Amino acid sequence: MIRHKRLFYISIMLLSLCFLLGLSFPYGKPLGEQLLHALGIPAHSNPETETGLHYANLGLIVILTCGITCLFYALEKFRLRALLISFLFFTSGPTMLVQAYQTTIAGGLHAITYNKEDSECTYQLDEKTKTIDAECFIPLTNHSNDEVQFDLEFIDQNDNHSLTDGLMNMEGPYTLVLEPHMSKTFQIKAKIDVRDLKQDQYIQSGGSQSIPIKLIKDGAVMDYSGY
């Protein structure tokens, strides 16, 4: 089945490296992007807005392509099946591994999962007082056997919605508590003073979904800006 053992071992090393560099737990950004930042190399071609060509993802694509190519030529049979399994392992493996860890052996902050897709915030500007009545719904689950208390902060990103989400921190951080094996959607309200802000820095009326947040406890951070 294996025609070239050396190529096979190289493919396993490259695919494993690609898998590890793609992991974004618990810091919200893939390990490859974190390494670029540590080396002082911007992860995007437009680093100020974090847009344009994503160098970390480009590197992952190159490594993945090399790994799959080596695997293809290393095998004598079942080539297409092996390539399909490798691709699925790379695309779904990191998420499945993190979920398995969080729901089984993780403790403390790492045992908390965030159903980001079901999160939302709504905003309504009061023209007279120049304050925004804000309300956010944040669904969290504690998979551990212990109560976990932590602080929640909202994350600014590069679009108008998440900039408004970040303004929630003017009344934060928000201290939350989850009992063991508890799932709860936290309702967080705030009045945001926007008198000193320009109109393009916040939403006057409307809402946003998939809210980027981070959880903080005793110096540990869970960043949910990227997943």
What tens digit of pLDDT does each residue of 198-211 get?
777 777 778 888 89
pLDDT for 213: 92
pLDDT for 226: 64
pLDDT for 161: 53
Rounded distance between C-alpha atoms, residue 83 and residue 117, angstroms: 31
Higher-scoring residue by pLDDT: 18, 157: 18
Residues 6+ apart with CB under 8 A from 166: 154, 155, 156, 157
What residue type is 69 in one-letter code? T
pLDDT tens figures, 26-78: 766 777 777 777 777 777 777 666 667 777 788 888 888 888 888 888 888 88
pLDDT tens figures, 24-38: 777 667 777 777 777
DSSP H/E element including 8: helix 5-21
pLDDT tens figures, 157-191: 655 555 677 788 888 789 999 999 999 999 999 99
pLDDT for 18: 84
> Contact at 8 Å (CB) between 191 and 132?
yes
Rounded distance between C-alpha atoms, residue 16 and residue 70, angstroms: 13
pTM value is: 0.76
pLDDT tens figures, 109-165: 989 999 989 999 998 988 888 888 999 999 999 999 999 999 999 987 655 555 677
Residue 53: burial class (beta carbons within 10 Å; 0-12, 13-18, 19+): exposed
Residues 6+ apart with CB under 8 A from 119: 136, 137, 138, 139, 209, 210, 211, 213
Going by C-alpha positions, the residue among 31, 25, 11, 22 that lies closest to residue 85 is: 11
The CA distances from residue 99 to 27, 81, 114, 185, 186, in Å, are: 15, 25, 11, 19, 21
Residues 6+ apart with CB under 8 A from 91: none
> Contact at 8 Å (CB) between 107 and 146?
yes
